[in-house]
A and B are shown apart, each in its own frame.
Chain A
Amino acid sequence: MSDIILETKGLTKHYGGVHALEDADFQLKRGEHIAIMGDNGAGKSTFVRQITGVEQRTRGDVIFDGVPVNFAGPLDAREAGIETVFQTLALADDLNVPDNLFLGREKTKFDWLGPFRLLDYKSMREDTMAGLVKTGVKIPNIKNTIANMSGGQRQCVAIARTATFASKLTIMDEPTAALGVQETAQVENIVRTLKDQGESLILVSHNMRQVFDLVDRIIVFRRGRIVANLNVEDTDGNDVVSYITGAKTGAEYEGAA
């Protein structure tokens, strides 16, 4: 078993004439938490979309868990073990917590009934509770519909999916962008819990304090290219900002920007 969970080689995405992502070489070790930073339009989200199969790359390779992969869509990526917490929450407001966690992959009984096969509510509820305990997510009443929950609780439900389905890699795209202080702290606690459990994580974030608090390594994107790969111990906020704004360019990336 390889030590590296995700690797990209020369990952490139062009939207017509716009070079949104150019030759991204990237490695993520098993159990490692890394942050992707960069200005708006620097290529962070484009990079994530290529990995999760939301879009098809122009060229380059993605190697996940030692195998070259070519995801046709986000579902393929999820099947393979990449769980994404989207910026826009992919939750159905009128369903409750277990229904949302298991949406599209319900546990069922009497499968010969086809679309009318019965839902195994009990089993799904138990798995949900286990997943919530594992991530430290506190939801007062899991039978409540998502519509009755705060933004933080919704985000927690989205994150709890990863724990419930034992994914190999979790990607979070700005998980706390819309949250208040207390809710942000709650989400950050969950991220720490994931770290303790050896989950690999890619965190896309603009929040410098959060990034330094939570991750091992910071990757900086600028104008579609990776311009820095920094260990959190060896760097500081000013350093990262210099890379984001282009005031400084990493030695091995000289001439790239």
Chain B
Amino acid sequence: MSDQSDGTGGLTFDKSKKNWPNELNVFGALILIIIIFEVLGAIYMQQSLLFDTRDRFDSIFNEARLRIIIIQVAIIGIIAIGVTQVIITAGIDLSSGSVVGATAMIAMSFAQVAEVNGGPNPKAIFGEWALDLPVLVPLVVGLAVGLVAGAVNGILVAFARIPPFIATLGMMLFARGVAQWWSLGNPVSFPTEGYAKIGAGMMPVIIFLSLALLFHLIMNYTVYGKHTYAIGSNEAAARMSGINVPRHLLLVYMIAGMLAGLAAVILTSKNLTAQSGMGLSYELEAIAMAVIGGVSLFGGRGSIIGTVIGALIIGVITSGFTFLRLGAFYQEMVLGCIIVGAVALDQYQQKRGAARA
């Protein structure tokens, strides 16, 4: 099967118009950032960021640091997978951080043990019926809370036609309120052993990468993915082509909400406690991952792979600044510049694309 059509018209194939995958640019940026840190590390710290320079070990990479880099972005990365899909529809989800907070409190309440150090659990939220439940219960509760929050977002955006920014801003405030009201600000602690295993060790990373792979396939090889891109690219055309746009948007926001719920479960399992302030500003970090990864806020363009690389860029920068023993404030300044730079680059590419057409 050739890509060349055999019609008339006399147009010739123009190689310069071939699509260059944007993920390669983002990956190039990741490599560039790593090189910068390696050079700075060699000059100022006489150490390497990612490669092993210690004589005692004979591995190529500094595995401990690689592990830290990916663990610290894995949980927000799970949220970013959902946020990426929302942004591709030309929407935005500001509520995911607060949904993490609310879901953390609610799910953890169903994951508590009955006995702590021989006495009753001092942090128990419900009566005995909710203690020592099988791990499936808090997991399902967590996913369900996230799903409901996402469904409300979706209904507001798709059916009530409220701009996504406002609808999810409302949900952001509401869900944070729920998180604080749930136990009147008290932390919910002492999970069952089974629950504590969900987010233990490298589990967040395994879950993050599996979900990234799953949604990469879904976005590229299913009707769901095609319609998501189509709606973000030209909503009017999507509607004229017979796509049920409101129903599809609802589904996208529900998936994003459910992924935020899952992130909350993993986070509380990892920390062994739930607090009402959990997930604060996660939504912004998730959006940052997507934007750095080349997802266009105008919709229609971007990919899960891009977002994963965007997450890694944030992870490398965070670790890099710690490695160079620079304060966290520098790191935020640099991240701010990178986000603006990524959007500026996207704008520039879009303009160039329009000029070529």
Partners in one complex: yes
> Which A residues are closer than 8 A to B by beta carbons?
74-75, 78, 86, 88-95, 99, 103-106, 108, 113, 115-119, 121-122, 125-126, 129, 132-133, 135-145, 147-151, 153, 156, 186, 189
Complex: chain B residue closest to A142, CB-CB: B3
How long is the Cα–Cα vector from A73 to B7 in the complex, in angstroms? 33
Binds A, one of B66-74, B97-105, B231-239: B231-239
CB-CB under 8 A from B8, the residues of chain A are 136, 138, 189
CB-CB under 8 A from B237, the residues of chain A are 89-92, 103
CB-CB under 8 A from B7, the residues of chain A are 132-133, 135-139
- Shortest A94–chain B CB gap in Å is 4
State which of A94, A132, A133 has its C-beta within 8 Å of the C-beta of B301. A94
CB-CB under 8 A from A137, the residues of chain B are 5, 7, 9
**Per-position 1/0 for B256-293, Cβ under 8 A of A:** 00000000000000000000000000000000000000
The reply to whether A143 and B19 contact each other, CB–CB distance below 8 Å, is: yes
The reply to whether A148 and B353 contact each other, CB–CB distance below 8 Å, is: yes
State which of B18, B229, B234, B238 has its C-beta within 8 Å of the C-beta of A144. B18
The reply to whether A148 and B11 contact each other, CB–CB distance below 8 Å, is: no
- Shortest A153–chain B CB gap in Å is 7
For residue B243, CB closer than 8 A to chain A, the reply is yes
CB-CB under 8 A from B327, the residues of chain A are none
The reply to whether A92 and B4 contact each other, CB–CB distance below 8 Å, is: no
Complex: chain A residue closest to B241, CB-CB: A104
The reply to whether A94 and B233 contact each other, CB–CB distance below 8 Å, is: yes
With A118-B221, A140-B4 known, 15 other A-B pairs at CB within 8 A are A94-B232, A94-B301, A95-B226, A106-B223, A115-B223, A115-B224, A119-B223, A132-B5, A139-B7, A141-B4, A142-B5, A143-B19, A144-B17, A148-B356, A151-B357
The reply to whether B222 and A113 contact each other, CB–CB distance below 8 Å, is: yes
- Shortest B169–chain A CB gap in Å is 27
Can you give 15 A-B contacts (C-beta < 8 A)?
A75-B240, A92-B229, A92-B300, A103-B241, A104-B241, A115-B251, A118-B222, A135-B7, A138-B7, A139-B11, A140-B5, A140-B13, A140-B17, A141-B17, A148-B17
The reply to whether A149 and B357 contact each other, CB–CB distance below 8 Å, is: yes
The reply to whether B234 and A92 contact each other, CB–CB distance below 8 Å, is: yes
For residue B6, CB closer than 8 A to chain A, the reply is yes
CB-CB under 8 A from B227, the residues of chain A are 115
The reply to whether A119 and B221 contact each other, CB–CB distance below 8 Å, is: yes
- Shortest A144–chain B CB gap in Å is 6
For residue B58, CB closer than 8 A to chain A, the reply is no
State which of B13, B14, B242, B353 has its C-beta within 8 Å of the C-beta of A104. B242
How long is the Cα–Cα vector from A84 to B83 in the complex, in angstroms? 35
How long is the Cα–Cα vector from A147 to B349 in the complex, in angstroms? 12
How long is the Cα–Cα vector from A143 to B222 in the complex, in angstroms? 17
- Shortest B43–chain A CB gap in Å is 43
State which of A104, A116, A143, A151 has its C-beta within 8 Å of the C-beta of B238. A104
CB-CB under 8 A from A91, the residues of chain B are 234, 237
CB-CB under 8 A from A74, the residues of chain B are 240
CB-CB under 8 A from A141, the residues of chain B are 3-4, 13, 17-18
